[in-house]
Amino acid sequence: MIELENVTAGYGGGPVLHDVSLSFPDGEITAILGPNGCGKSTLLKIAAGLLYPRSGQVRIGGTVLPTFKPKLLAQQVAYLPQSRPVPDLDVEQLVLHGRFPYLKYPHRPGPTDREIAGRAMRSVGVDALASRLLSTLSGGELQKAYIAMALAQDTPHVLLDEPTTYLDIDHQLEVMRLCAAMRDAGKAVVLVLHDLPLAFRFADRLLLMRSGAPVFSGSPAKLARSGALEDVFHVRAHPVPFPDGTTHYLFLETQ
């Protein structure tokens, strides 16, 4: 569980987040939605402990933030940024880097670490790519390799910044199913998403943001009824019941 209390945060200039209080519970997928520049990524970095708030408090697993040593924090939270360089590594080496927080100098992974990395690669389905260079992978394979690294990091909290952007629909669904599997394993999964249908389908809780503060937090069904989407995105979520009992949503613009 990650909790934010009266958090105000930003980089150089004015604050990007204003007095935000919320929590990301274990065993739930929370999707952060909102227009570009509303502070979604900043919120994620604050929750990951990578950025310190100017005021307010962040607690990760009950511990107040600045008291963590970097490696202990890395044993608590895995975070995948939106963009990153593609290093000259193969998939297995990348996934083994997920064990870095647990290794003492000279950071050489042992048999247990290799086993954990192997398990992470199998559960994500990249074990067949273990010896492939990252630069030869497709976008979807690369994203899965990074998710395997985050799994190998073996943390109770997993934070992903736009994990499905630039992926084809097949890989988008696969990434979301992996998130659901992490949720079912009891992790707190937090995603920044731009894709409303994906968010409504897979997330347990939606956090809608606008100019640095959350304007709605709750289940997809509640958000669809609330009217908050109309204010922020100028679309309305129309529930479409399917014969198998599930409800999906269709997003149509409001006049």
Partner 1 sequence: MRCLRIFSMAKNRQLVILLGCAALLLVSLALSLCLGAVWLSPAQLLEGAFCPGTVPGRILWHTRLPRMLATLLAGSALAASGVLIQTVLGNPLAGPNIIGVNAGAGFAVALLSAFTPLTARLTPLAAFLGALAAMLLVYFAAKATGASRVTLVLAGVAVASLLNAGTDAVVTLIPDALPGSSSFRIGGVEGVSMVQLRPAAVYIALGLLAAFALRPAMDVLALGDETAQSLGLRVEPTRFALLLTAALLAGAAVSFAGLIGFVGLIVPHAARALLGGRVKHLLPTATLLGGAFLTLCDVLSRVLFAPYELPVGIVLSFIGCPFFLILLARRKGGHARDRA
What residue ranges bind partner 1 (CB under 8 A)? 12, 45, 48, 50, 69-75, 77-81, 83-90, 92-94, 97-98, 100-101, 105-108, 128, 130-131, 133-135, 139, 142, 153
* Rounded-to-integer distance, Cα 19 and Cα 54, Å: 10
Compare residues 107 and 225 and give the one whose CB is closer to partner 1. Answer: 107
* Rounded-to-integer distance, Cα 189 and Cα 174, Å: 15
How far from each other are the two terminal CA atoms of the chain, in whole angstroms? 40
Compare residues 151 and 196 and give the one whose CB is closer to partner 1. Answer: 151
Compare residues 62 and 106 and give the one whose CB is closer to partner 1. Answer: 106
Closest approach, Cβ 87 to partner 1, in A, equals: 4
Closest approach, Cβ 71 to partner 1, in A, equals: 4
Closest approach, Cβ 58 to partner 1, in A, equals: 15
CB contact at 8 A, 129 and 146 = no
Residue count of the chain, please give it.
Answer: 255
Secondary structure of residue 159 in the 3-state scheme: strand
CB contact at 8 A, 63 and 119 = no
Which residues have CB under 8 Å from 169's CB, separation 6+?
none
How far CA 207 is from CA of 109, 126, 210, in Å, comes to: 38, 31, 10
Tokens 């952007």 correspond to what residue? 165
